Amino acid sequence: MERLRVNKLLVVYTLLVFLTGVLITGAVLTVKGYDVPWIAAQPALAETQQSGSSSPPAQNYPAFFGADTIEKIVEKAGPAVVKIETTVKTSSGSNPFFNDPFFRQFFGDSFRINPQPRIQQGLGSGFIISTDGYILTNNHVVDGADEVKVYLTSRLEPYEAKVVGSDSELDLAVLKIEAGSNLPILKLGDSNKVKVGNWVIAIGNPYGLDHTVTVGVISAKGRPITIDGNEYKDLIQTDASINPGNSGGPLLNLDGEVVGINTAINAQAQGIGFAIPSSTVAQVLDQLLEKGKVVRPWLGIYMQPLNQDLAKYFGLSSTEGALVGAVQEGSPAEKAGLKRGDVILEFNKTKITSPQDLQKAVSESKVGDKAVLLVYRNKTTIYVTVTIGERK
């Protein structure tokens, strides 16, 4: 009994010592001004003790989610986020019955209804990327608009905007406003470094509610989706709330950098939004600014993969390669002499194992480049030189 009592006292004593240590450490961190949880602060505290410094290294702070982290990011980034209003003028059309000759015979021209103009309003978001007024947004926000107006937080009256460049496939557009040369901007970050689970912040104008801020995490990367007939590739998925009007607004990391452009919502799944990765934007931004469009290299063939039956039919020993199913008229492939039934085995000495390999090789080429293809035709191999064209 005596031994049992001693063991119990030792357990109680050990717990008291541990809890006292936790409280003292927490108090020390509070006094030093570390506004972070005790457990999260330990790595920084350990580094401080090793270096002999009186404060933790600054580079550790972004890993901590303080009470005012979002507030500071929004305060800095908010002025560079804009509201975009568009106007599309359409005709209401004439009475469809007037197209019927029997209807006109009975009622005559007096029944003709003159077309009346109808104005449709659109709403979206965007953000400034240069101090002299270039703005990034979605193509679908400004597509077909007769008038584009941009609202900044610095004044009530809107600026008239010009569409400098756009691309429907990537759903990107660049606008330009004349508002001086000292505008606030947002910097494009590297979406390739973003990981699933990272915190992100969305700023935009959902339903016209200016500068609404929502917070969430990266839910997934590389999502291919189709919404309202539009096919999107390699999107970032997030649970930060994105609603109509958010389109074109920035998705920010905790450094205040743009890692995505909010572009779509899934109406069938609440709480799921998608953004165009900033790495995709960076690849085409110069083209949109300088040429007003994205220039895409083009070969002009329809491809299909080889299976065992096709390989046997053509006399091939493997299913590697890209089978030419058809050649487009007037294409670079036709001019180079490629034919239906050819199997492309190499592209500039790079082995082609599938149509995806060839598609990637062409997409990484530049318009005007010459490519040497190793082609299997009639149970023999030949070399074909093709000049990469521009897809219209």
Strand ranges for 65-209 from DSSP E: 81-91, 117-128, 134-137, 147-151, 159-167, 172-177, 199-204
228 carries an active-site annotation = no
Please identify which of the residues 125, 140, 219, 278 carries the catalytic annotation.
Answer: 140
Contacts of 68 (CB under 8 A, 6+ apart): none
Q: Show the tokens assigned to 208.
A: 């016209």
14 φ, ψ (degrees, to nearest 5): -65, -45
Side-chain-facing half-sphere of 108: CA atoms under 13 Å = 1
171 carries an active-site annotation = yes
140 carries an active-site annotation = yes
DSSP state, 235? E
- Give the whole-angstrom CA distance, residue 211 versus residue 218: 21
What kind and span of H or E run contains 224?
A: strand 212-227
From first CA to last CA, the distance across the chain in angstroms is 92
Decide: 211 and 253 in contact? Cβ < 8 Å. no
Pairing of strands 322-327, 350-351: unpaired
Q: Show the tokens assigned to 98.
A: 């007037």
Please identify which of the residues 171, 342, 357, 365 carries the catalytic annotation.
Answer: 171
Per-residue CA distances from 248 to 205, 260, 379 (Å): 10, 9, 52
Please identify which of the residues 191, 241, 247, 278 carries the catalytic annotation.
Answer: 247
What kind and span of H or E run contains 44?
A: helix 38-51
DSSP 259-311: EEEEEEE-TTSTT-EEEEEHHHHHHHHHHHHHTSS---EE--EEEEE--HHHH
- Catalytic positions, written as ranges: 140, 171, 247
